[in-house]
Amino acid sequence: MLAAVTLAIASRADADIRLPDDTPPSYRTECGTCHDPFAPQLMRKADWKQVVAGLDRHYGVNAALSADEVQPIAAFLDRRGADDADARMAAAELRLTATEYFRRRHASVSRAAWAHADVKRPSNCGGCHFTSDQGVFGHDVSIPGGR
Amino acid sequence: MSLAALRLAGALLGFLLASSAAAEFPAEMVARYAADAAKAQPGYVPSAAAGREFFLRRFDVSAELPGCATCHTENPAARGKHAITGKRIAPLAPSANLDRFTDGAHVEKWFKRNCTEIVGRECTAAEKANFVSFLLTVRP
């Protein structure tokens, strides 16, 4: 019984996080050009809402979109973002790298790996996750300099 | 040639024509921006040297993104890297990346976004013509 529970937890934690099938193409081109097209499941809907509302001062950069451009992206994030009640996905300072979930999933990554020139920032998924630019945040990982 | 082969050839030709209708060659894009620039500045001729100077200039409007080369590196035929996010950027020079400067709407969008951020204002048609004509001189 215990083994079964452990296995269930392990396989859940091991599932790849990937962009949903209903991701609007513009999400990849508008958001996914400067950074990886982050999977919306990684942060709560309420946090995404705030990110979308502040695109003109987006982590220090003006990433403003027209109302027509923003609409399908905002709707998508609201459709696919994590549930607001899910405390593991609550993002401090609106950073999806600052959720409890993200921290736990990356607990074994060394300080040296985070600081590696190919990584630089926790939000640079592509530093280790080679398919993140296609929206697949999975296990084809190579951590620079090892763990 | 069989009828089926003819049909296939016709469909292929149609597809090629349709897909090329939307595209533009980088040199045509330079000509279009240059024609636009000449309206405000009669006799204007695109300058690759001015484009190069612009590409390498530090505008220092943004502390983290002082100039084009900050992310695109000083060699536009090389792969760049976003200075804030670390995301890889495909080379800018058409000689190293055939997709560059073939889609007018895409190019306008990124000129608008990047000029506003890095130069602190929108770029002029002359600056755009210079910029693309410089990139056309870059060889990998």
Cβ neighbours of A124 in B, within 8 Å: 85-87
Could you give the CA distance from residue A81 to residue A78 in angstroms, rounded to a whole number? 6
pLDDT digits (tens, 9 = 90+) for B50-74: 999 999 999 999 999 999 999 999 9
CB–CB of A51/A94 below 8 Å? yes
Q: Which helix (H) or strand (E) holds B35?
A: helix B26-40
Return the percentage of chain B with pLDDT > 70, whole number. 84
Over residues B86-112, the mean pLDDT reads 94
Q: Is B88 on the interface with A (CB under 8 A)?
A: yes
User: What is the distance in angstroms between the Cα of A12 and the nearest Cα belonging to chain B?
Assistant: 28
Q: What is the pLDDT of residue A7?
A: 44
Q: Is the pLDDT of residue B115 over 50?
A: yes
A144 CB-near residues (< 8 Å, 6+ apart): A113, A116, A117, A118, A119, A127, A128
Could you give the CA distance from residue A136 to residue B41 in angstroms, rounded to a whole number? 49
Q: What is the pLDDT of residue B8?
A: 57
Q: Is B64 on the interface with A (CB under 8 A)?
A: yes
- SS3 assignment, position B89: strand
Answer with the residue of higher pLDDT: B126 or A142.
B126
Cβ atoms within 10 Å, residue A117: 10
pTM: 0.79
Cβ atoms within 10 Å, residue B80: 19
CB–CB of A31/A38 below 8 Å? yes
Could you give the CA distance from residue B86 to residue B28 in angstroms, rounded to a whole number? 32
Q: What is the pLDDT of residue B7?
A: 61
Tokens of B94: 């058409």
Could you give the CA distance from residue A74 to residue B68 in angstroms, rounded to a whole number? 30
CA nearest A39: which of A7, A79, A92, A8? A79
With CA atoms as reference, the chain A residue closest to B71 would be A34
Q: What is the pLDDT of residue B50?
A: 98
Answer with the residue of higher pLDDT: B4 or A83.
A83
Please answer yes or no on whether B85 and A119 come within 8 Å at the CB atom.
no
What one-letter code names the amino acid at A140? Answer: D
Tokens 């300080």, residue located: A111
**Predicted ipTM of the assembly:** 0.74
Residue A17, beta-bridge partner list:
A137
User: What is the distance in angstroms between the Cα of A7 and the nearest Cα belonging to chain B?
Assistant: 35
Q: Is A131 on the interface with B (CB under 8 A)?
A: no
Candidates A62, A118, A124; nearest CB to B85:
A124
The Cα angle at residue B113 between residues B107 and B115, in degrees rounded to 5: 90
Which of A:48-77 have CB within 8 Å of B?
59-63
Size of interface A-B (CB pairs under 8 A): 37
CB–CB of A37/A31 below 8 Å? yes
Q: Which helix (H) or strand (E) holds B81?
A: strand B80-81
Cβ neighbours of A31 in B, within 8 Å: none
A142 CB-near residues (< 8 Å, 6+ apart): A128, A130
Cβ neighbours of A95 in B, within 8 Å: none
pLDDT digits (tens, 9 = 90+) for B10-19: 555 544 444 4
Which of A:79-108 have CB within 8 Å of B?
none
Cβ neighbours of B111 in A, within 8 Å: none
Q: What is the pLDDT of residue B4?
A: 62
Question: For every one of its 147 residues, what pLDDT tens digit does chain A have, with 9 covering 90 and above?
Answer: 455 444 444 444 557 889 999 999 999 999 999 999 999 999 999 999 999 999 999 998 999 999 999 999 999 999 999 999 999 999 999 999 999 999 999 999 999 999 998 888 899 998 899 888 888 888 778 888 764
What one-letter code names the amino acid at A84? Answer: D
Q: What is the pLDDT of residue A146?
A: 60
